[in-house]
Chains A and B, each alone.
Chain A
Amino acid sequence: MAFEGLTGRLQDAFSGLRKKGKVTEADVKDVMREVRLALLEADVNYKVVRDFVKTVREKSMGEEVLGSLNGGQQVVKIVNDELTALMGSEQEKIIFAEPGQGPTVYMMTGLQGAGKTTTAGKLANYLRKHENKKPMMVAADIYRPAAIDQLQTIGRDLDIPVFSMGDQVSPVEIATKGIEEAKAQNRDVVIIDTAGRLHIDEKLMHELEDVKSAVNPHEIFLVVDAMTGQDAVNVADSFNEQLNITSVILTKLDGDTRGGAALSIRAVTNKPIKFTGTGEKLDAFEPFYPDRMANRILGMGDILTLIERAQQEVDEDRAEEMAKKMRENRYDFNDFIEQMDQMQNMGPLEDIIKMIPGMNQMPGADKLEVDPKDMAHMKAIVMSMTTEERENPELLSQKRRRRIAKGSARDIAEVHKLIKQFKQSKDMMGKMSKGNMGGLDKMFGGGVKGKLGKMAMNGASKSNNTHKKKKKIRRKK
């Protein structure tokens, strides 16, 4: 997951500070030197870093920090607040045309290889799913071979119409005709995919201006690769100057970039980041929340995104039923498979785990890798069980296990392991849910200020036991 490297460095920087009660000026200075290096190493623009460090240093020098008993915590809080401010504080919503004003028009722009075409598809899919829109995509990249073909294939996969006129017609004409066509087909959102271009290519930048003035878009998205280095600011600045872009979409955030571009672009262009691309699949696309991202960068997890993803993938009634089953100890292999599928839909397991506050500080958490194939193997084993065996794991005798191993083409040891793990987690679930589910929200409650938030901030080793239990459950799923 993106930002991890930055998180690690910042936590190292704060580790000494957290243990301190009173903080001296020299402490703050030392920490800020480390923070500066951490940000520079993460590709945050050097000017942004300079201002950031200055602001935090000034705020940390105040009496309430230096004089207080938990000064270290307060410095961390100031860094968190400033990081959030740097990325734009609040999540900004996508702009739509006023009702009755015809279709909403969006333009995708950016350098070559930033991910405009894929993002166009993801955005269309997102708007249909979450905003109840009827999007149409327009293929105005006439330069890159097969770019039109690419958009058409994405459109086919998503079942969203794509308008194209081949690569011999000017982008301006394609865009204008595309909007006419959208009106005729009663589509309410038009997403225009344009060719990637260098920000210093005057001729092609001019072409974008022409498209802009011809279609008068409601949003011009600048699509930026999250791995971009110091050059991100040059690129964003030029595009903004020439086109007056309205917002930014960050792509490839599922890599292991430290994400400096995310921190710099907003500060330099003053244009909000509205969405992020987080995976290869066409539904790996999320709104950007500066506060959540700041929490994630500081290693405090991102429980809200986790819940929202669950909300998207899991049917609530089924989830309540499942919880009831767990309480009554009726949880079986069918539920196991169902949950596993849901988990997989929520994204890579290692990412999900890291959204849990405090998890990323677990020793070894950074090395935790889950091969999707392992999940497939587990599924194969369960699928080789009979209906009765799935509902009643007690039936699984040695003989049956051998049959299952053969049926799923897995080693018998793997079958034993899975069944054992299943029983263990079933026991634990029974205990947890019989205990006090009510206590759970006390544990999670109050966001960063809550118990878990504090654990994350302190990185306290005494709470490791609770973490470990949790991790076990997650792993098994």
Chain B
Amino acid sequence: MGLFDKIKSAFTGTEKKEEPEVSKVSELSEDSDVSEVADVTDVPEVSEPTVAKELTSEPISDKPLADPYEKGLKKSRVSFTRRLNELLANFRYEDEEFFEELEDLLIESDVGFEATMYIADTLRYEAKVQNMRSMKDAQRVIVKTMVDMYGETNPDHHVFNENKDGLTVVLFVGVNGVGKTTTIAKMAHQYIEKGQKVVLAAGDTFRAGAIEQLRIWGDRVGAEVVSTKQGGDPAAVVFDSIEMAKQSGADILLIDTAGRLQNKKNLMNELQKMKRVISREIPDAPHETLLVLDATTGQNALNQAKIFKETTDVTGIVLTKMDGTAKGGIVLAIGKELGIPVKFVGLGETMNDLHPFDTEKFASGLFKELIAQTN
């Protein structure tokens, strides 16, 4: 037995026991699995059988609706509204269980943890202070709280900042796999359609195939791509791309960066350096620093937004993969706590599926029926 095994056995107590245990478990695992399945599926169904069926039997898209928001959010809205009403029908103002169920419902609807707790706490408080008894009152409070929250998350400066007299520089940042490169391609396509000259900078010199990916997109949409070899200095690519965009009289420069987890200090420093290079070459650039967020991300999106804002002064968010089942409710909390507006949403795979974000549409998409009811 080597040194490390000795140390290890000191922690586990015995070293010989382990092996037979493992094999025993693999034999037993089938039995225990069965009982676990039963447990997990049984419990929630008892408490809300109609709800579970609602969710699964809901068709994914009934008819192609004209409005992409409507289309994307229809499913969630119907079940959410109905369930909220069902829940409110047994509004028990003093019953903690009622509030916990409400919290579960909001969290499942992807409203986000902070927003959920805020809504539930407001209702708890109002129920006590106003001595509320009726379902109508409860509903009114919930809707009002939600609408107020959306109001707060809708800062005035959600318009995309374009440099009218020259080159607009946009820097894209975010964690790995959120869709930065694809978003750049979509945006490039839309600007080229408008008759503008677009330059792309392949600033992701780390991930295998990233440069090639951007190059292929550049060819497809008709944008020039500035790049170096894999492993090269991304700040140098940024510098070159600015020179090149200036010389060729381009209207817009979109800079791709490698995905990085926000807790990697050295990678965040690298990003800061890239930004410094941009500002040194063009004083008021980058005109936009867009944080790309995956709508399926949970609470961690808040950390992402916070740290990326600290290091690169993010000016807006692109919310991608909104065509799935996630609703991206976390952007509420981000808007409320950090004041970063969502500027674009990705709603599909095609080049035209990047849309300017409309807070009101997003909000009313989720809560339209509810608001109409109470008015």
Contact = CB atoms under 8 A, between A and B. Distances in A.
B107 A227 contact: no
A454 to B, nearest CB: 14
A344 to B, nearest CB: 12
A209 to B, nearest CB: 17
B324 A198 contact: yes
Interface string A412-446: 00000000000000000000000000000100111
B33 A270 contact: yes
Given A112-B177, A310-B4, A369-B265, A157 B11 contact: no
Contact of B37 (A46, A270, A304, A373): A270
Interface stretch (B151-159, B245-253, B273-281, B298-306): B298-306
Nearest to B292: A113
Given A112-B179, A144-B213, A256 B303 contact: yes
Given A41-B113, A304-B11, A371-B265, A150 B299 contact: no
Interface in A30-74: 36-37, 40-43, 46-51, 54
Contacts of A310: 4
Interface string A87-124: 00111110000000000000000011111011000000
6 contacts: A225-B294, A230-B110, A235-B324, A256-B300, A307-B11, A311-B2
A149 B213 CA distance: 8
A255 B175 contact: yes
Interface string B196-223: 0000000000111110110111001000
A146 B209 contact: yes
B265 A228 contact: no
B43 A270 contact: no
B176 A113 contact: yes
Interface string B212-246: 11011100100000000010000000000000000
A127 interface: no
Nearest to B44: A47
Interface stretch (B21-29, B77-85, B129-137): B21-29
Interface string A1-44: 00000000000000000000000000000000000110011110
A198 B179 CA distance: 13
Could you tell me the dominant secondary structure of chain A's interface residues? helix
Nearest to A309: B4
Residues of A in contact with B, size category = 35 or more
B10 interface: yes
B216 A229 contact: no
Nearest to B42: A51
Contacts of A463: none
B13 A445 contact: yes
Contacts of B330: 229
B54 interface: no
Contacts of B22: 90-91, 93
Contact of B209 (A48, A150, A270, A445): A150
A46 B324 contact: no
B367 to A, nearest CB: 18
Given A112-B179, A255-B175, A371-B265, 16 more contacts: A51-B40, A111-B296, A117-B209, A145-B212, A146-B210, A146-B213, A153-B208, A225-B296, A225-B297, A228-B296, A229-B298, A230-B110, A270-B40, A372-B266, A445-B11, A450-B11
Contacts of B264: 254
- Of listed A46, A229, A280, residue having the most chain B CB within 10 A: A229
Q: Which residue, of B113, B209, B215, B220, has the highest number of chain A Cβ atoms within 10 A?
A: B209
B324 A199 contact: yes
Contacts of A157: 208
Ranked 4 nearest A-B pairs via Cβ: A229-B298, A150-B209, A113-B177, A43-B298
Nearest to A441: B10
Contact of B325 (A93, A149, A200): A200
A340 to B, nearest CB: 16
Contacts of A153: 208-209, 230
B262 A255 contact: yes
A323 to B, nearest CB: 8
Given A51-B39, A270-B33, A228 B297 contact: yes
Contacts of B295: 231
B7 A92 contact: no
Most interface-central of A49, A89, A257, A258 (chain B CB within 10 A) = A257
A258 B4 contact: no
Contacts of A369: 265
A113 B179 contact: yes
A230 B298 contact: yes
Contact of A255 (B29, B212, B213, B300): B300
Nearest to B217: A145
A229 B294 CA distance: 10
Given A200-B325, A255-B261, A227 B300 contact: yes
B11 A444 contact: yes
Given A252-B175, A371-B266, A230 B300 contact: no
A42 B113 CA distance: 9
Given A40-B107, A231-B326, A268-B40, A145 B299 contact: no
B297 A441 contact: no
Interface in A136-189: 144-154, 157
A447 interface: yes
B189 interface: no
B170 interface: no
B297 A373 contact: no
Contact of A230 (B10, B107, B321): B107
Nearest to A254: B261
A147 B323 contact: no
